[in-house]
Amino acid sequence: MNNKSPISVVTDGDRAMRNAINTVFPNANHRLCSWHLARNAKQHIKNSAALQAFHKLMNDIQTRDQFEEKWNSMIEDFHLQENEWLRKMHTDRAMWAEAYLRGKFWAEIRSTQRCEATHAYMKRSLEGKTSLVDFMKQFHKKLDGMRHSESQRDYITQQKKPPSAGTVLPHIERHAASIYTRTSFQKVMSRLKQEGYLFQSYCWGSIEHQLQTYTLETTQNRTARWEVTFDATSVSIRCTCLEFETVGLPCEHTFHVMKVERLKEIPQNLISLRWTKIAKSNSRPTYHSLHDPNDVTEVVWYGALTSRCNNLCYIASRSDEGYRQFNAGLDMLTQQMHHLHASDISYNDEDINRSSSRADILKDPRVAHTKGGQKADKGKEIKKRKCALCKEEGHTKRTCPLSNINMMDNNSQISSPTIQFASEEDMSFNPAVYNSICYDTSVCATMMENPSYTTATECTGKLMTEF
C-alpha cells in the first residue's frame, strides 16, 4: 500500500486478529462489526426490550455521558447485572459504541458487509474442485465486471448532471452537484433536506476574531443540541456532532449555518477529496524501480495512469487551445516514453541473463498426475503380464494356444442329444412338456402337422437334433 497504514479497520472481533492489528497497525482505529455484534447480542440478551435498548446504545447515542447514563439505566431496568457478556462488551465499548467512535473516520462503514459481499460475488462461479488456472480466469473475469460497473458510474458522474432535489438552498445544491460524485451527491442532498427540521435557539460570537457559535435544536428531539462554529476569516464551519470527521460529508447543522450566513458554496474545510469527482485523478502512486518485480505490477501502473489521463483528456477537450497544447505535449511525451521503453527492454534482457538462476522468480507449478495408474520408479523392472492358462509371458488366455486346443477337443466330443424317459407315462404325448422344449412356435406348429411324427419321442428327438 505504498508504505501507508490504514486509518481504520473493521473486523469480526477475532482475538488473534485484534492482537495482530495492534502490533502491525498501532495507530489504526479498530472497530467491531455491527452485524456480528447484533447476532451475539441476540444470543446473550433474551429480553426483546433490552435488546432494542442495546441496539440504540450501539448506533444512536452520540455523547459518552449519555452512553454511560443510558447503559446504567438499561442494566438496572432489565436486571442484567449478572450478564457476563454485557460486562465484557462494556469493557470493549470503545470498539463498538457510536459515542466512542465518533470523530474517527469510518467512511460510513460499520460492518464487514462489503468484504463478505465481495467474497459471495466471487464464489458464484468458483467451486472447491476449481483448478488454479480456472480460478485465475474466473477471478479476472469478475474483477473486470466490477471495474466495468465502476467505469459506468464514473461516466454517469462526469457526463450527466444529477436531477435537482428542490431544496431551499439552490446555490449550495448546484455547487454540490459540480464537485461530488452521483452517490455522494445523493447523500449530501438527504442531509440538506434534514436542515429544514432545525432551528436556532441561541447565538453568540466574537467581533474581534469574527467567530460565531450557533446552538441548534431539532423539532424531532427537543433534548438534542448541537453547537456549530463559523469562522468568517477562513470561511470554515465546525460542528460538535463530528459528522464530517466521521463520514467525510457535511452535516445538516452546517447547512443551516450556511443558510444563515448566506453562503453560496460549501466551505473548503467541509469538502473531502475522497467523495469528489477528481478523487482518482489526484491519487499519485509512488514510483518504484522497474527492475524489482516484488514492488508493484505493470497492471497497477497502467490503471493509475489511465485514471489520470481520463481527467486530463476531459479538461483538454474543453477548448481549442487546450486541445492543441495537449496534442503537442502528448507527441513529445510519446517519443520520450518510446526511448525509455527501449532502454528498459535491453536492460531487462541483460538482467535476466545475469540472474537466470534467481530463486524468487515465479515459475509454473509442477504438474501432478492424479488420474491413471502410477508410473514405476526408474531403476525398477516392470513386471510382465502372464497368461492365466499356461503361465507364460507374451500373451493372454484369449490368445493362448492351449485355449484353441481345448475348444477343438470340446467340439469333437459333442454328440446328438438323447432323451431318456423314466416310465411309460412319460412316453405319452404331453403338450406342456412339448411346448417347453420347443424354442420356436412356428417350428413346433409345423412338426405337429406332420403325420410322420407319431410319438412324442420321435418329435422331441427330431427337434433336439435340428436345434
Separation of alpha carbons 31 and 13, rounded Å: 8
pLDDT for 393 equals 83
- Are 37 and 97 in the same domain? yes
- Are 268 and 300 in the same domain? no
- Are 107 and 15 in the same domain? yes
Give the model confidence (pLDDT) of 89-106 as tens digits. Answer: 999 999 999 999 999 999
- Are 188 and 259 in the same domain? yes
**SS3 sequence of 116-150:** HHHHHHHHCCCCCCCCHHHHHHHHHHHHHHHHHHH
Phi, psi of 226 (to 5 degrees): -135, 145
Rg (CA), the chain: 44
pTM over 0.85: no
Amino acid identity for residue 418 in this structure: T
* Range picked from 341-345, 420-424, 454-458 for highest mean pLDDT: 341-345
**Is pLDDT at 23 greater than 50 in this prediction?**
yes
Mean pLDDT of 331-350: 73
Q: Which domain holds residue 431?
A: 426-466
Give the model confidence (pLDDT) of 37-65 as tens digits. Answer: 999 999 999 999 999 999 999 988 878 99
Separation of alpha carbons 204 and 35, rounded Å: 42
pLDDT for 261 equals 92
Separation of alpha carbons 354 and 349, rounded Å: 9
Give the model confidence (pLDDT) of 364-402 as tens digits. Answer: 677 666 655 555 555 556 677 788 888 888 788 788 887
Separation of alpha carbons 60 and 50, rounded Å: 15
**Domain final position from 122, 153, 181:** 122
**DSSP 8-state symbol, 227:** E
**Is pLDDT at 445 greater than 50 in this prediction?**
no
Is residue 363 assigned to a domain? no
Is residue 378 assigned to a domain? no
- Are 106 and 22 in the same domain? yes
Separation of alpha carbons 466 and 456, rounded Å: 15
pLDDT for 249 equals 95
**Is pLDDT at 430 greater than 80 in this prediction?**
no
pLDDT for 459 equals 42
Is residue 192 assigned to a domain? yes
Helix 182-194 and helix 170-179, axial crossing angle in degrees, nearest 10: 160
Q: What band does 449 get if pLDDT is binned at 50, 70 and 90? A: very low
Residue with cell 460570537: 205
- Average pLDDT over the chain, rounded to an integer: 78
pLDDT for 14 equals 87
> pLDDT exceeding 90 applies to what percent of the chain?
36
Under a CB-based contact definition with an 8 Å cutoff, are residues 208 and 217 in contact?
Answer: no
Q: What band does 134 get if pLDDT is binned at 50, 70 and 90? A: confident
When divided into structural domains, the chain yields a total of: 4
Q: Which residues contact 98 (CB under 8 A, 6 or more apart)?
A: 58, 59, 60, 61, 62
